[in-house]
Amino acid sequence: MQIVVFEDEQVADLAPATLGRPAFAISCGSRRLSDLLVRLGCPVHAVVRPHLRALVAADFPQLASVGDDSTAIPAGPTLWVNARLVPSVAAGRQLRQMIEAARPGVVLAATVDQNTAGETKDVLAAALVGAGQGRVPRGATLPGDAAVPPVATLDIIPDVALPLLRYPHDIVREHLATLADHLAVRIASGRYREMADGVFAAEGARLGQYVVTDASAGPILLDEGATVGPFSLLSGPAYLGKNCRVIEHAAIKHGVAIGHTTKIGGEVEASIIEAYSNKQHHGFLGHSYLGSWINLGAGTSNSDLKNTYGQVNMEYAGRKVSTGMQFVGAVIGDYAKTAVNTSIFTGKLIGACSMVYGFVTTNVPSFVNYARVFGQVSEAPVDVLVATQRRMFARRGVEQRPCDIQLLCDMHALTAAERAQMDPPLAIEPLSL
């Protein structure tokens, strides 16, 4: 048995979270789908968008192969898994049961199609295809495939629910729903010692003096090398990744998962912060998703609740989508930066590699210098971002590789349509390198 995790045509709707990473690399509940699949014990192949192939091949050595089509995948019994699958403990259990049962069939997930007045349609979540039954399951649209042969002979597997991420706000909702289960699995692994009531630490993790912990609503986990400065508050459920540094006087509240090699301060609640990002200073971050290599300037805060206390609506590609959630903050793409005292309004998207200033009252496209409140919005040149990436990597002892530079160039090209739709048209900002 082998596993193929594939990105379908709806993966673009998760931007900016999926602009610079495959959907299976999104952290949700402190886990990524790629981690869950590798633990199933079968070779895992990945089919991703072409611009991600080199980066994924370099950063995911645990994958058996990486491609942008399905032609190189070996024949044989295969479990196909949609890369947008919510990486929950329950999903991992159900995928394992499918492998053990070895019964060919498909699992469909109902999703709302905003292009057809909100009608619901079934989308492939997973399929187990036996030898000789076809290489690609029905409903999968894989990049690079000129034709996708349907596998009409497969039956729907009953009593299996595998929900998919549809829009970026789903990441926050599913994160909050799955975090406690993932923390329980981590604790059961035996890698953590209980250093205080409900506070579990891996090797090298430590708490500073006068840290207040509250695990009444869920445990608090500190992974290897994670540190918390003095006079801080930790409220569970919460996960602090490897070598995460929480500075003094921080307030890390319920529902927070912080990636490795990060610096976090101020107040953070119900949010995901991917690896290598910094929110080192005071300011509030709530019900939000932050990608990697982001820096939030001192005083940056976001709103996650409307003044009317109503449900938050998000705008995706010009469409208004109801989240069904009362609390939704910001979704910020990789490499974005905010200036000091930046204020981000409720339910806003900030594109990758953008630099924002002042009040963020609208969605921000990728590669934009956004200072709308000052009457200034311009395009950020890609060569400036490449130079910035090199300096950021050097500060963390990370080598800038050709695939990292190429990714920025590809992301810039892929998001050109976002910037072209802005009114008035953007000018190229002559920033100094």
Mean pLDDT, the chain, as a whole number? Answer: 91
Mean pLDDT of 242-267: 98
Give the alpha-carbon dihedral of 88, 90, 91, 92, to 10 degrees.
Answer: 90
What pLDDT is attached to residue 74?
A: 82
- For 299-331, the pLDDT digits (tens) are 999 999 999 999 999 999 989 999 999 999 999
Mean pLDDT of 236-261: 98
Measure CA of the first residue to CA of the last residue in the chain; give whole Å. 50
What pLDDT is attached to residue 147?
A: 30
Mean pLDDT of 355-368: 96
Burial class (CB in 10 A: 0-12, 13-18, 19+), 18: buried
Q: Which residue reads 């048209």 in tokens? A: 425
Mean pLDDT of 197-224: 97
Mean pLDDT of 75-99: 95
CB 74 within 8 A of CB 131: no
Secondary structure E strands in 274-432 = 278-279, 284-286, 289-290, 295-296, 301-302, 313-316, 319-322, 330-332, 337-338, 343-344, 348-350, 355-356, 359-360, 368-371, 376-379, 427-428
Secondary structure E strands in 280-354 = 284-286, 289-290, 295-296, 301-302, 313-316, 319-322, 330-332, 337-338, 343-344, 348-350
What pLDDT is attached to residue 144?
A: 41
Q: Which CATH architecture fits 170-428?
A: 3 Solenoid (2.160)
Q: Supply the pTM of this predicted model.
A: 0.93
Contacts of 380 (CB under 8 A, 6+ apart): 353, 354, 355, 367, 368, 369, 429, 431
pLDDT band at 76 (very low <50, low <70, confident <90, very high): confident
Look up residue 66 and give its amino acid: V
What pLDDT is attached to residue 135?
A: 54
- For 103-161, the pLDDT digits (tens) are 999 998 877 665 555 667 788 999 998 876 555 554 454 444 433 334 446 788 888 99
Please state whether beta strands 359-360 and 330-332 pair in parallel, antiparallel, or not at all (unpaired).
unpaired
pLDDT band at 433 (very low <50, low <70, confident <90, very high): low
Whether 274 shows a pLDDT value over 70: the answer reads: yes
Mean pLDDT of 194-222: 97
Does the domain at 2-166 match CATH 1.10.3210? Answer given as no
CB 137 within 8 A of CB 121: no
pLDDT band at 174 (very low <50, low <70, confident <90, very high): very high
Cα–Cα distance between 376 and 369 in angstroms, integer?
Answer: 8
- For 371-418, the pLDDT digits (tens) are 988 888 999 999 999 999 999 999 999 999 999 999 999 999 999 999
Whether 354 shows a pLDDT value over 90: the answer reads: yes
Kind and range of the H or E element at 416? helix 416-420
What pLDDT is attached to residue 119?
A: 65
Cα–Cα distance between 286 and 328 in angstroms, integer?
Answer: 8
**C-alpha of 29 from chain center:** 10
What pLDDT is attached to residue 155?
A: 84
What pLDDT is attached to residue 422?
A: 78
Kind and range of the H or E element at 364? none
What pLDDT is attached to residue 113?
A: 62
Q: Which residue reads 């299996």 in tokens? A: 160
Contacts of 74 (CB under 8 A, 6+ apart): 2
**C-alpha of 226 from chain center:** 21
Q: 187-216 in b/e burial notation, b at 16+ Cβ within 10 A? A: eeeeebeeeeebbbbbeebebeeebebbbe
Give the alpha-carbon dihedral of 381, 385, 391, 393, to 10 degrees.
Answer: -170
Mean pLDDT of 63-78: 86
What pLDDT is attached to residue 148?
A: 35
Cα–Cα distance between 300 and 243 in angstroms, integer?
Answer: 23
Nearest 5 degrees, angle CA 272-CA 84-CA 171?
25
* Domain residue spans of the chain: 2-166, 170-428
Q: Give me 173's structure tokens.
A: 């909702």
